[in-house]
């Protein structure tokens, strides 16, 4: 019987987790809503899937194979509900195993192997963000584990997100605690970038740690941790009640446990992070919190499930994106056009990229970028 090498590649992609590959009918509705159509780019989702179906080579370059930010916008527009992100992940996984991987992603993976975080920080510095403040340790009588995203553990700008959240949890009398050094990166973006083996190692290490500590409920500072703890850890035996900080804070405000002055008074636009909004269906809570803080929430282009990705998902947060291709530049411009004085969001990746673009766009004096917890902590009663 004749051999068809292209069929082998097609089958391999499906075996690596891209089971939906052949369900795609090539209508192109995915590519039409993809944020890469907002800028000049060689990345086209439909084309990549076609090449995978036919087993053709040529999609392995950094800009094409590693372009997808896993923002989920295409998935909600696909008439066949094709798991496009699963296909991207499978294709990345295959080439990563062959050693084809952007250098910056190799560095992030290497750091996770050595230090348990992608930012080249030492494991013993994981609690550097707590310097000068009292944060309770997680113990047998603690209700929630506060799991702080690696970005907020090591990045100086991002540390303020965790510090602000601690103020709010203390003010509301929540029973919470941190573990710290023994924790590892949740592994969400590592997996999406194609390093499946490392994801399993990180997730297993966290699941074993949480079991030793008796963790049942988790508060996450990042929607990426939220998504992987709720959707991916259960497959590996890790089952928890998980909330993103914005969900818990909204609940505390509605119960009257978290008291705010309600005096912010500024015009605030809210940028829906892909992993909080489209991926986890959390849209109203951050807005309720901004209202409670007395902010005037102004509408901006592309909100809720139509939100424009900041560009940081799928491992892109560790890759260098040319200025003219940054979605975050478009986003800060949209906030400015909406007349916002503050662009608020609820994700450490979004904060990093939007902060950067605010500066490169010369908006430093007119537009502040804040995580919702930061805005709330300034309005505490």
| Residue with smaller CB distance to ligand SF4, 82 or 165 | 82
Residue 71 binds ligand SF4, judged by CB under 6 A: yes
Cα 69 to Cα 191: distance, rounded to the nearest angstrom: 12
- Location of structure tokens 């553990």: 153
| Residue with smaller CB distance to ligand SF4, 8 or 81 | 81
Nearest to 266 by CA among 357, 364, 344: 344
CB of 219 to ligand SF4, least distance (A): 27
Residue 49 binds ligand SF4, judged by CB under 6 A: yes
- Location of structure tokens 């690596």: 16
CB of 303 to ligand SF4, least distance (A): 17
Give how far Cα 243 sits from Cα of 38, 73, 142, 218, 246, Å: 32, 23, 16, 6, 8
Residue 342 binds ligand SF4, judged by CB under 6 A: no
| Residue with smaller CB distance to ligand SF4, 74 or 135 | 74
CB of 154 to ligand SF4, least distance (A): 26
Backbone angles phi, psi at 69, to 5 degrees: -95, 5
Residue 317 binds ligand SF4, judged by CB under 6 A: no
CB of 10 to ligand SF4, least distance (A): 14
Residue 70 binds ligand SF4, judged by CB under 6 A: yes
Q: What is the CA radius of gyration of the chain?
A: 21
Residue 64 binds ligand SF4, judged by CB under 6 A: no
Nearest to 187 by CA among 201, 169, 167: 201
Residues 85-114 close enough to bind ligand SF4 by CB under 6 A: 85
Q: Are 171 and 259 in contact (CB under 8 A)?
A: yes
Q: Which positions from 24 to 43 touch ligand SF4 by CB under 6 A, shown as an x/- string? A: xxxxxxx---xxx-------
Q: What angle do CA 26, 29, 35 make, to 5 degrees?
A: 120
Q: Looking at 75-83, 183-191, 250-258, 318-326, which segment touches ligand SF4 (CB under 6 A)?
A: 75-83
DSSP-assigned states of every residue in 258-310: S-B-----SEEEE---TTTTTTT---HHHHHHHHHTT-EE---SS-GGGPPP-
| Residue with smaller CB distance to ligand SF4, 48 or 169 | 48
CB of 24 to ligand SF4, least distance (A): 3
Residue 82 binds ligand SF4, judged by CB under 6 A: yes
Residue 65 binds ligand SF4, judged by CB under 6 A: no
Nearest to 199 by CA among 105, 275, 281, 102: 105
Residue 306 binds ligand SF4, judged by CB under 6 A: no
Q: Residues, the chain, total?
A: 381
CB of 233 to ligand SF4, least distance (A): 22
CB of 161 to ligand SF4, least distance (A): 24
Residue 341 binds ligand SF4, judged by CB under 6 A: no
Nearest to 312 by CA among 246, 242, 223: 223
Residues near ligand SF4 (CB under 6 A): 24-30, 34-36, 45-46, 49, 68-74, 78, 80, 82, 84-85
């Amino acid at each position: 019987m004749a051999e068809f090498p292209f069929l082998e590649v097609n089958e391999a992609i499906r075996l690596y987790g891209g089971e939906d590959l052949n369900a795609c009918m090539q209508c192109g509705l995915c590519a039409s809503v993809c944020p890469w159509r907002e800028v000049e780019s060689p990345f086209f989702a439909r084309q990549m899937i076609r090449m995978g179906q036919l087993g053709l080579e040529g999609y392995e370059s950094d800009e094409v194979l590693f372009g997808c930010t896993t923002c989920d916008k295409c998935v909600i527009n696909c008439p066949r509900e094709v798991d496009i992100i699963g296909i991207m992940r499978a294709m990345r996984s295959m080439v990563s195993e062959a050693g084809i991987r952007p250098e910056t992603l190799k560095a992030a993976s290497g750091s996770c192997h050595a230090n348990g975080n992608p930012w080249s920080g030492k494991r013993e510095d994981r609690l550097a963000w707590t310097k000068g403040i009292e944060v309770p340790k997680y113990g047998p009588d603690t209700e929630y584990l506060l799991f702080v995203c690696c970005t907020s553990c090591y990045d100086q700008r991002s540390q303020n997100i965790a510090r602000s959240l601690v103020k709010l949890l203390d003010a509301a009398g929540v029973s919470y605690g941190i573990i710290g050094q023994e924790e590892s990166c949740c592994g969400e973006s590592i997996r999406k970038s194609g390093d499946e083996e490392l994801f399993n190692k990180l997730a297993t290490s966290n699941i074993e740690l949480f079991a030793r500590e008796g963790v049942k409920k988790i508060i996450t500072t990042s929607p990426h941790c939220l998504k992987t703890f709720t959707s991916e850890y259960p497959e590996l035996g890790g089952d928890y009640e998980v909330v993103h900080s914005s969900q818990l804070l909204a609940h505390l405000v509605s119960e009257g446990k978290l008291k705010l002055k309600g005096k912010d008074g500024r015009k605030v636009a809210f940028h829906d992070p892909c992993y909080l909004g489209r991926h986890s269906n959390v849209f109203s809570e951050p807005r309720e919190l901004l209202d409670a803080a007395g902010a005037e929430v102004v509408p901006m282009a592309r909100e809720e499930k139509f939100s424009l990705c900041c560009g940081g998902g799928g491992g892109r947060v560790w890759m260098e994106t040319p200025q003219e291709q940054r979605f975050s530049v478009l986003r800060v411009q949209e906030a400015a056009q909406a007349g916002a004085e503050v662009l608020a969001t609820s994700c450490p990746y979004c904060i990093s990229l939007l902060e950067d673009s605010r500066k490169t766009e010369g908006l430093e004096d007119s537009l502040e970028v804040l995580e919702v917890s930061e805005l709330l902590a300034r309005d505490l009663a």
